Amino acid sequence: MMIRPLSTLFSMLISTLMIAGDPGLKQDPCQVEEGEAGAGDPVPVREVIYLSGTDKDHTETWEFFCTGGRNSGVWTTIQVPSCWEQQGFGSYNYGRDYVTYGRGVRYADEKGLYRHRFMVPDSWKRRKVRIVFEGSMTDTEVKVNGTRAGEIHRGAFYRFSYDISGLLRFGEENLLEVTVSKQSQEPSVNSAERYADYWIFGGIFRPVYLEAYPLPHIPQAAVWGTASGVFHARVELPSVEAGTRVEARILDQAGNLAGTCSAVATGGNSPVSLQATLQLSLIHI
């Protein structure tokens, strides 16, 4: 079954949620994008502010302190994202040094302390704001304005984020402090990530950014359909008010309305399930 891209469905769901939950949010002076065919009013979308650079060739300068190895013991600066070894800090180890030098080899375990000051627009006060780390090697503690954002993240190779809406000073300068430990306190992480056939690095090696969402918003949705014309969607709605009506509109390849379905949220963090049966004549196999 072929339907419009999922981005269309998400935009439709978000638009309907906002109308049902808090019409005033449509007046939020944040950047908006026009919805796709049939969407109607402009839909407020996720906004992003990069705190780091976007890749290895486009970096930002942060304050930095390395606890051991080269150029350690003093506050200086570093480019983010990067691995600190390749910026002249810390010590190199190869993952299989235990094979070359024996099981008693000592792996470098320095830490990197980062500081970065940033502004958040006052218009984000009515939005949910998260700080996102695309990748950091390896244990990572994050503080915003002196308060820990959440539990220490362990593991280098997947994205993690924290809701920092309550920690920010909107329209003012904010302080981000990040402590990255090259070796994890969790042995299984070291076994999986540190002791392999490659060089071991440390640092914030992927982008860091803020993302702001409307309230309410849909952080995740699962969508699937069958050849018989049955459409399903499971929509995550954190902290949405009970009684909020959620609607999905399914469009065909030409942008014409093929079907709709709706459900009412029960509140809290409970997901909402949607289902519709489309006319077979409207389905393109």
Of 166, 198, 213, the residue that ends a domain is: 213
CATH of the domain at 139: 2.60.120.260
Tell me whether residue 250 is exposed, middle or buried, using C-beta atoms within 10 angstroms of its C-beta: 0 to 12, 13 to 18, 19 or more: buried
Peptide linkage before 138 cis (omega within 30 of 0): yes
pLDDT of residue 205: 98
The span from the CA of 248 to the CA of 269, in Å, is 19
Residue 279: pLDDT above 90? no
Q: Classify residue 174: in a domain, yes or no.
A: yes
Residue 6: pLDDT above 90? no
Of 154, 179, 213, the residue that ends a domain is: 213
Q: Classify residue 117: in a domain, yes or no.
A: yes
Of 179, 213, 247, the residue that ends a domain is: 213
Residue 276: pLDDT above 80? yes
Residue 253: pLDDT above 50? yes
Confidence of residue 44 (pLDDT cuts 50, 70, 90): low
- Specify whether 120 is located in the same domain as 196: yes
| Spatial CB neighbours of 191, under 8 Å, sequence gap ≥ 6 | none
pLDDT of residue 92: 94
- Specify whether 225 is located in the same domain as 191: no
Q: Classify residue 56: in a domain, yes or no.
A: yes
pLDDT of residue 181: 97
Residue given tokens 């503080």 in the structure block: 143
The answer to which of 41-45, 115-119, 247-251 has the lowest mean pLDDT is 41-45
Question: What is the average pLDDT value for the chain, to the nearest integer?
Answer: 83
This prediction has a pTM of 0.76
pLDDT of residue 284: 57
Q: Classify residue 1: in a domain, yes or no.
A: no
DSSP state of 228: T
φ, ψ for residue 62, nearest 5 deg:
-120, 160
- Specify whether 112 is located in the same domain as 208: yes
Q: Classify residue 191: in a domain, yes or no.
A: yes
- Specify whether 202 is located in the same domain as 223: no
- Specify whether 63 is located in the same domain as 163: yes
- Specify whether 123 is located in the same domain as 193: yes
- Specify whether 59 is located in the same domain as 81: yes
pLDDT of residue 249: 87
- Specify whether 226 is located in the same domain as 201: no
Tally: H helices and E strands in the chain: 3, 21
Confidence of residue 41 (pLDDT cuts 50, 70, 90): very low
Confidence of residue 104 (pLDDT cuts 50, 70, 90): confident
Residue 169: pLDDT above 70? yes
Q: Classify residue 10: in a domain, yes or no.
A: yes
- Specify whether 86 is located in the same domain as 198: yes
User: Domain range spanning residue 260?
Assistant: 6-43+215-282
Region 85-90: mean pLDDT is 97
- Specify whether 168 is located in the same domain as 224: no
- Specify whether 209 is located in the same domain as 234: no
- Specify whether 123 is located in the same domain as 17: no
Taking alpha carbons only, the member of 223, 239, 231, 260 closest to residue 16 is: 260
Region 116-141: mean pLDDT is 96
Per the structure, how many domains does the chain have? 2
Residue 269: pLDDT above 70? yes
pLDDT of residue 31: 31
Residue 175: pLDDT above 70? yes
